[in-house]
Amino acid sequence: MKFKSPFVLLLLVWALGGIAADDKSRPVEARIKFVAAGQAISVGIMQDKRLESFLIPSDMLTQEFVYRGPARLTLLKVKATAKPVDSKATPEEDERIEKRSADDSKSASKTHDIGVVDGPPLAWIDLPNGVGPLYLILVVNPGKDNGITAIADTPGSFPPGSNRYFNLCPFPLKVKLPSGEQYVAGKDAKVMRPGALHANYYDLVISSKIGEQELLAFSGRIFHMESLRKLYFITPGQGELGRVRLKVVEDRPAYGKPPITPTVAPKNLK
């Protein structure tokens, strides 16, 4: 499901519990997943004096990024530059160059170098320090204030198989699931389990509460997987009061290689 509307981030002063980053010189440790508010974007982060670059998608969270560094986390603009072609290089030399590049930087590839674009950073955020490891979802929206909004992702608060509904509207919403229904106040969020079986569809109904009246805002069939988390960002829609837009972001489990099954020779083979 794709939505062309801008993702309006009125969000989340509550996300970091109001903790201020008062000493930006102290190192911070954070486990972070990113998502782009608009289109997917390529970014870079300097860590241990090395540039690490990756793509931030708009419809799913990135895999977990472990950050250890200054309290001010800065996302840099990056660009790919084609490497000069050595017509005399043998395949063996190409392989050695590729291996050395991979050892030196996660940003290297066989055909391109990744570098930082001159100018101001793409986005930044001051993270709190002295509070132990942080677990965060960072929503990146370049050009909107500092360009990053933080959402706390404390372990156990948003488990796999559940959905997190962010009501960014000025009016309450009612979320109805097979497990029941709950109201989500304006500028608030709730985590709910759908109450559906794994690999089955369920009905999701969202209503806007305008005064004493409830208006149907969304209704659809949703496929449920116990290994998947979903974030629903709900913003006001155009037109009459009570209309909404949804941006759905998935958090998929980390890719794991299947176990290697040893080959067993037939018993009668000689």
Tell me which fold the domain 163-251 belongs to: Immunoglobulin-like (2.60.40)
- In angstroms, the CA 26 to CA 129 distance is 7
Domain ranges, ordered by start, for the chain: 13-79+116-152, 163-251
- In angstroms, the CA 46 to CA 16 distance is 23
- In angstroms, the CA 200 to CA 153 distance is 26
- In angstroms, the CA 78 to CA 107 distance is 10
Nearest 5°: the CA angle 78, 254, 135 is 70
Q: How much is the pLDDT for 89? A: 58
Q: How much is the pLDDT for 103? A: 43
Q: How much is the pLDDT for 205? A: 98
State how far the alpha carbon of 198 is from the alpha carbons of 114, 158, 220, in Å: 41, 17, 17
Q: How much is the pLDDT for 100? A: 45
Alpha-helix residue ranges (DSSP H) falling in the chain: 91-104
Q: How much is the pLDDT for 11? A: 44
Tokens of 83: 């490497």
Taking alpha carbons only, the member of 247, 255, 228, 253 closest to residue 39 is 247
Taking alpha carbons only, the member of 199, 230, 245 closest to residue 61 is 230
Burial class (CB in 10 A: 0-12, 13-18, 19+), 47: middle
Confirm if 184 and 198 have CB atoms less than 8 A apart. no
The DSSP H or E segment spanning 134 is strand 134-140
Contacts of 192 (CB under 8 A, 6+ apart): 162, 163, 165, 175, 177, 179, 182
Tens place of pLDDT per residue across the chain (270 aa):
333 333 433 344 334 444 444 555 678 999 999 999 999 999 999 988 899 999 999 999 999 999 999 999 999 999 887 777 665 656 665 555 444 444 444 555 566 688 899 999 999 999 998 888 999 999 999 999 999 999 999 999 999 999 999 999 999 999 999 999 999 999 999 999 999 999 999 999 999 999 999 999 999 999 999 999 999 999 999 988 999 999 999 999 887 655 555 545 455 544
Q: How much is the pLDDT for 229? A: 98
Q: What is the dihedral of CA 258, 262, 266, 269, to 10 degrees?
A: 140
Q: What is this structure's pTM?
A: 0.79
Write the DSSP symbol of residue 14: G
Q: How much is the pLDDT for 5? A: 37
